[in-house]
Amino acid sequence: MISDILTVMWKEGKEIMAYLSGRSKLSPLIFVSVFGLFLPFQMGKIWVESPMVLVYSGWAALFLVNSIIADSFAGERERYTLETLLASRLSDRSILFGKILVAVVYGCGMTWLSLLIALVPVNLMHGQGGLLLYPLTVGSGIVGFSLAGAGLAASAGVLISLRAATVRQAQQTLSITTMLLLFVPVFGVQALPYGWKARIVEALTAVDATRVVIAAIGLLVLLDIGLLAIAMARFKRSRLISD
Amino acid sequence: MKCIDFNGITKQYFVKGKHSNGKITAVDNLSFSIEKGEIFGLLGPNGSGKTTVVNLLTGLLVPDKGKIRVLGLDPLRDWKRLRYSFGLVPQESPLYPELNAYQNLEFQGALYLKSLKEIKDRVEHILELVELKNRASEKIKNYSGGMKRRLAIGKALLHEPEIIFLDEPTLGVDVQGSHRIWDYIKMLARQGKTVLVTTNVMSEAEYLCGRLLIIDSGNKIAEGTVDQLKSSLGKEEIIIRKKPSLDDVFLHYTGRTLRD
């Protein structure tokens, strides 16, 4: 099964590369310029030391995966390539995992690349003779958050793309879902009574920051697994064709 | 020797729409069989159930009733074994438009062949066969309809399957391209492969197929060789036109009403 997953990833990767080298060749460049050069240059030392970079790594990976995952099945359906893909000897899981993994690799790869490039302006402008690097705990957090964020977007995106008739429809549904996912907790917390908010802040400050990060990553991973399980259950060849 | 046995198959789709809600019968208690090495034509107007038959044979759809055997195997239960044995050319281009011809064939090769050398050799052979070697590095989105069709057939032949399903193989292809595709299909039959062709083009069916099955609204209307079908028309019509064409046979059985 692993070689089949790799074959699907190879095909998907070639398609993504062809897409990015075409009309959309500027978007990864803009992404790396903003998050790998401009923001780190402005923020300086805080960029490598603050836990804010963890939020950024999760958000960036999620955003990058979102930009390509809607195409996974809806794109195959729109281009009429789904029929032959499903009629091939590939198993359901190798198709599904191949598409999810390639999106995760792209999302995390671009995020990590921008974070590595970010070390250049930070060190050039704010290094003061020393070498500024991400502390081990922050580095581990970056890896954890970006993988969990990319996994969340990939499994949710595949689930949406499985049933969408067109890529546009999948993108719209995915955008609304992402907005709900990001804004509901923010506005939800703001809507809480003052006393509750104070208690939450008190509880969070009392707990070790590393534990909070681990708990957040754990929660995201659980969500990833849940969505992946639903996507696996909903992947029915006959329904994909007759839909 | 029976290669395909399609026995009493019924397939219904559930349709949910603004004006209609309910079940549509795409294939209705349909039976036919295909012998090994035969070019079998499945004829029918648009929406008559031809593509559904192909999707049922390839295991992409589950029949509501009846039994299907392809090379003695069940397309649903034995799908993994069976998928090495057939090649599918669907109605629409099954090629990835952002990839070039070589990459499209390479992907197919990676799914079915064992070594990189084997993949390379077969890809080169297929590109030569479909006369696209000098355009192999061009993206598919720049190909003409005929080139896409030829490459799609090449893709289906890459793993040397025993059975080829061709769903309207010359749809939107010019005369020259169509004749070249017909040559490939004839060549496959000479190699002992079994071919199922669905088509609306009567000259294509007449030229290619040993036996034909005409279906309409998922029902069997007529079956036989071209000569048998032609002679099945009444005497009266034979007087009007000495020798009816296959178009006449088709229209006689399916009527002149537009389906879409």
Report yes or no: A81 at the B interface, CB cutoff 8 Å.
yes
Report yes or no: A87 at the B interface, CB cutoff 8 Å.
yes
pLDDT at res. B162: 93
* For chain A, the helix, strand and coil percentages under 3-state DSSP, each to the nearest 5: 85, 0, 15
**Mean pLDDT throughout A69-75?**
91
- Domain count along chain A: 1
Find the CB nearest A241 among B61, B84, B111.
B61
- For residues A236 and A216, give the distance between their C-alpha atoms in angstroms, rounded to a whole number: 32
- Residues of chain B positioned with their CB less than 8 A from the CB of A19: 98
- Residues of chain A positioned with their CB less than 8 A from the CB of B88: 83-84, 87
pLDDT at res. A206: 81
* Residue bearing the bigger pLDDT, B5 or A128: B5
Flag if B111 and A88 touch (Cβ within 8 Å).
Answer: yes
Query: What was the ipTM of the complex prediction?
Result: 0.80
pLDDT at res. B180: 85
pLDDT at res. A197: 84
* pLDDT grade for A181, boundaries at 50, 70 and 90: confident
pLDDT at A241 over 90: no
C-alpha closest to that of B37 among B211, B161, B194: B194
pLDDT at A240 over 80: no
**In chain B, whose CA is at the least distance from the CA of A76?**
B96
Query: ∠A37-A43-A49 over CA atoms, to 5°?
Result: 105
Shortest alpha-carbon distance between residue A184 and chain B (Å): 33
pLDDT at res. B135: 93
**Mean pLDDT throughout A100-125?**
92
**Mean pLDDT throughout B189-207?**
91
- For residues B34 and B166, give the distance between their C-alpha atoms in angstroms, rounded to a whole number: 14
- Residues of chain B positioned with their CB less than 8 A from the CB of A237: 59-60
pLDDT at B18 over 80: no
Flag if A14 and B99 touch (Cβ within 8 Å).
Answer: yes
Shortest alpha-carbon distance between residue A57 and chain B (Å): 30
- For residues B10 and B24, give the distance between their C-alpha atoms in angstroms, rounded to a whole number: 11
* Residue bearing the bigger pLDDT, B255 or A140: A140
- pLDDT 10s digits, B136-181: 999 999 998 889 999 999 999 999 999 999 999 888 787 777 888 8
pLDDT at B237 over 60: no
* pLDDT grade for A23, boundaries at 50, 70 and 90: low
**Token pair of B135 as six digits:** 């355009």
Q: Which domain holds residue A177?
A: 2-242
C-alpha closest to that of B31 among B13, B64, B53, B46: B53
pLDDT at res. A161: 92
Cβ pairs bridging A and B (under 8 Å)? 66
* pLDDT grade for A24, boundaries at 50, 70 and 90: low
* pLDDT grade for B19, boundaries at 50, 70 and 90: low
- pLDDT 10s digits, B155-165: 999 999 999 99
Contact A149, A217 (CB under 8 A): no
pLDDT at res. B1: 78
CA distances from A223 to A96, A151, A219, A235, B91 (A): 17, 9, 6, 18, 39
pLDDT at A242 over 70: no
CA-based radius of gyration for chain B: 19
* pLDDT grade for A17, boundaries at 50, 70 and 90: confident
* pLDDT grade for B109, boundaries at 50, 70 and 90: very high
pLDDT at res. B163: 94
Flag if B103 and A79 touch (Cβ within 8 Å).
Answer: no
- pLDDT 10s digits, A182-225: 788 788 888 888 888 888 888 877 877 788 888 888 998 999 99
- For residues B166 and B169, give the distance between their C-alpha atoms in angstroms, rounded to a whole number: 6
- pLDDT 10s digits, B20-72: 568 889 999 999 999 999 999 999 998 899 999 999 999 989 999 999 999 99
* Residue bearing the bigger pLDDT, A210 or A11: A11
pLDDT at res. A52: 83
Mean pLDDT value across chain A: 87
3-state secondary structure string across chain B: CEEEEEEEEEEEEEEECCCCEEEEEEEEEEEEEEECCCEEEEECCCCCCHHHHHHHHCCCCCCCEEEEEECCECCCCCHHHHCCCEEEECCCCCCCCCCEHHHHHHHHHHHHCCCHHHHHHHHHHHHHHCCCHHHCCCEHHHCCHHHHHHHHHHHHHCCCCCEEEEECCCCCCCHHHHHHHHHHHHHHHHCCCEEEEEECCHHHHHHHCCEEEEEECCEEEEEECHHHHHHCCCHHHHHHCCCCCHHHHHHHHHCCCCCC
